[in-house]
Structure 1
C-alpha cells in the first residue's frame, strides 16, 4: 500500500531527513586516511542521539551498526570495522534516523585522496543520475520515468552497471514503504506519482558489471568483478511541477570541500 503524507507529516520527515544530512556533514569533516569506519559509526550514533533521534539502522532486521559504510567494491550495507581507510579509497556512508515517528534515510559517497579519473567520473555521473531521477519525481509521472532517467544517464550513456537487486523505496513511518523505485526500467510504467508521496531515490552504480553478491554476513553486498561502486541517495517529496528534496547535500558538500583529505575534482 502507498501512503501519501500530509503537509504536517512532510514537515516532520524533512526534520528527520535534514538530521541525516547534518550527520553526513559532520562525518565529512572527520574522514581521513588512518581512521576506521568503526570509529566513524560510533560518532554517527552519538551525533544522532545528541539530536534527540535514534539511529534507524541499528537492530533493523538484526543489522548490528548505526550506519552502513561501504568501501570501494562494496555496493551497500557494508559493516563498519577496524580496518583503516587509506588514500584512494571511496566510501559510501548511508545513514537512517528516526525522529518524531518518521524516518530519514540517505547516503553520500566520498573520495579519500585521489582515486583516479575513472573513479571520480563514476562518482560524478552517479550523483548526476540521482538528480536526473529526481527531476522526474513530479505528480502525474510514473515510477518508470524515474528509473529510466537514472539508467539512461549511467548505463546507456556511460556503460556502467546499474544494480538490479537493490532499489529505492517509499519512506515514512516505516523505513521501507511502497512503492519500490528501481534504477532501471521503461518510461511510462509503474505506479502514478501523486503529491505527498515521499521517496528515497538511490542510484547504486558499478564501474563494471551490474552483478553483485552478498557476503556470508548476510548484509555486505559487493560487485562480482570487485570494481568500485558508488551510491547516492536523497529523500524526495513528489510535488506538482517540481519535486521537493527534503534532504540537503549543500551542507555536506561545503564540509567535503573544506576537508583537505577528501577529493572533489572530476
Structure 2
C-alpha cells in the first residue's frame, strides 16, 4: 500500500496512553514502551500514529527514541496538532515542536486532530501548506472531520491534497460506512481507523469469535481484518504477544458472506 508516495503497512500502531494521557506525561514505563515500539517496527509495521496531546508530547519523544536505529525513510510517522493550536503561528510552532520531540528529519503525515470552529479553517490550512513548503511535513490531513468539513477543507487547499481522515471506526461503531468512508473513497482520501478494537470490546464479541473459528483466528484478528477493506486500522498494544496477535489479522481475507454478517452487527 502507498501513502504520501511511501510504502506503508496495512496496519499501523497507535500510541494513545503510551507515555501518558491527556497532556500529562508518564515516564514510569518508558523503557517498556520503547521496546514495544521497536518490536512493532521490527515486525514490519511501519506506520506509527502519535500526537502532541499524548502525554503532552512525551509519546512523540518515545517514538523518536524507538526509531533511532531504524532507517527513517522506511518508517511512516503520523502526528497531530491539537485543536487549541490551530491559529497560523501556533500551528507552525506545534509542528516544529513535534518534529523536535520526534528527533526526525520530517513528519510524514500531519493531521488536524480535531476541528475548532473558533479558528477559521482557511488559516489552519494555510499553515499546514506552509509546513509542506518548508519540508517539515510531507503530507497533510485531518482527523474527526465529517463530510461538510471535508468538503470545506478540499475547497480551501490550494497546493496540496488532503491525504487522510483519521476517524473512530470499529465493529461497534460503523457509522462512517454510511457517509464519511464512501466520501473519502470517492475523493482519494485514506481512512485511518482509531479505536479499531472498540476499546477492547472486540475481544469478547461472540459473533467475531464464531467467525474466527472458521479461519482459526481470534476475534481481535477478525475485527481488524474487517477494517482492512476500507481503512488502515491503528490498534495499540502493550505486549509483544498482543502485537503478534494483531499481525495475525494480515495475510488472509474474510469471505464476502462473513464480511456482510459483521457489517450488520
Please confirm whether the aligned pair reaches a TM-score higher than 0.5, indicating the same fold.
no
Higher-Rg member (1/2): 2
Query: Per residue, is there more strand in 1 or in 2?
Result: 1
TM-score by length of 1: 0.27
Greater RCO structure (CA 8 Å; 6+ sep): 1
